[in-house]
Structure 1
Amino acid sequence: MVTLILVGLGSSGCSLNRSDQTLAKYDDSEVTGSIGPATPPTPTESDLAFARTAASDVLTKGDKDSSQPWENPETGARGSVTPLAQSYAAEDGRTCRDFLASYVNGRTESWLQGAACKASQGRWEIHTLRPWRRG
């Protein structure tokens, strides 16, 4: 019975009192930087064309809380476009609306933010589409 208690104590890392000296440490001089922060993928012009078309389509439908998927078969990139908030009047009097678009290429994902305004024919024209910045 004594053996069982010793095995239990020896295998439970939380129950043991460890000194900081037993843990491996490194300082900044030992960091190589070979694995840095992941850079978001950069959409190609053809990827952006598919995203713009999806944005125009979903904004034209005018459905509340809707998204429009898109995919570029040439590059394999894909994503979806989701309108944000309600439309608003721009300084020039046109009706505009903001949107958020996902961009997935391979195993990486990034986000694009954009704005579109209604053209004279009732279609939405995208006037900005850039990487989304949190904050």
Structure 2
Amino acid sequence: MTLILIGLSGSGCSLSRPDTAFAKMEDAEVTGAISPPPEREPTEGDLAFARNAASDVLTKGTKDSSQPWQNPQTGARGSVTPIAQSYTGEKGRVCRDFLASYVNGKTERWLQGSACRIERGRWDIQTLKPWQQS
């Protein structure tokens, strides 16, 4: 085995054998890729803000309108947009479907819902759940 030493004047540097590792992993150590942050699920508070926005935008009754919403406690936000014409639902009530966006950190998803009109022109949210594309 040949040992090579190189001296640099005044620098105090030296090189050791080229087959010596700077760091060595133990057999039990495992490395892996950094995993993405977990998806966040809407909290009941987030859904309450989205329901209020849905009721507001449907009460306005204007065509092609959206209503933003935000939950300051969780940082979640989004908007609600009616997506279909009204139809007659249970008990002869006027009903309408809508989509709500949900954004929290890197999580982005869509929620689908339906609502039916109740007294004084307000809307009762019947469903609000993750959107299932067909």
TM-score (norm 2): 0.71
User: Shift of residue 134 of structure 1?
Assistant: 0.8
Q: Does 1:119 align with 2:111?
A: no
Letter in 2 for 1:42: E
Distance 1:39-1:57 versus aligned 2 partners, 3 A rule? same
- How far is 1:73 from its partner? 0.5
Equivalents in 2 of 1:62, 1:118: separation in Å? 11
Quote the Cα distance in structure 1 between the aligned partners of 2:44 and 2:56.
Answer: 18
Distance 1:91 1:124 in 2: 14
Percent identical pairs in the alignment equals 68
Who is 2:53 aligned against?
A: 54
Distance apart, 1:39 and its partner CA: 6.4
CA deviation string 1:61-117 (max 9, x = no partner): 001011000000010000000001110001320000000000000011011000000
**TM norm structure 1:** 0.70
Give the number of the structure whose residues are more often helix, by fraction: 1
Partners of 1:106 and 1:133 in 2: how far apart? 22
The amino acid that maps onto 1:86 is Q
Kept in 2: contact 1:41–1:110 (CA 8 A): no
Could you list the per-position Cα deviations for residues 15-48 of structure 1 after superposition, in whole angstroms to 9, with x for gaps in the alignment? xxxxxxxxxxxxxxxxx89858x86531001101
Amino acid at match of 2:116: C
The structure with more radius of gyration = 2
Instruction: Give the C-alpha shift of residue 132 in structure 1.
Output: 0.4
CA contact (8 A) 1:40 1:110 kept: no
* Residue in structure 1 matched with residue 72 of structure 2 by the alignment: 73
Q: Matches of 1:98 and 1:65 in 2, distance apart?
A: 13
Q: How does 1:1-135 map to 2 (within 5 A)?
A: 35=35, 40-135=39-134
Structure 2 residues without counterparts, runs of 5 or longer: 1-31
Structure 1 stretches of 4+ moved >4 Å: 32-36
Number of residue equivalences: 103
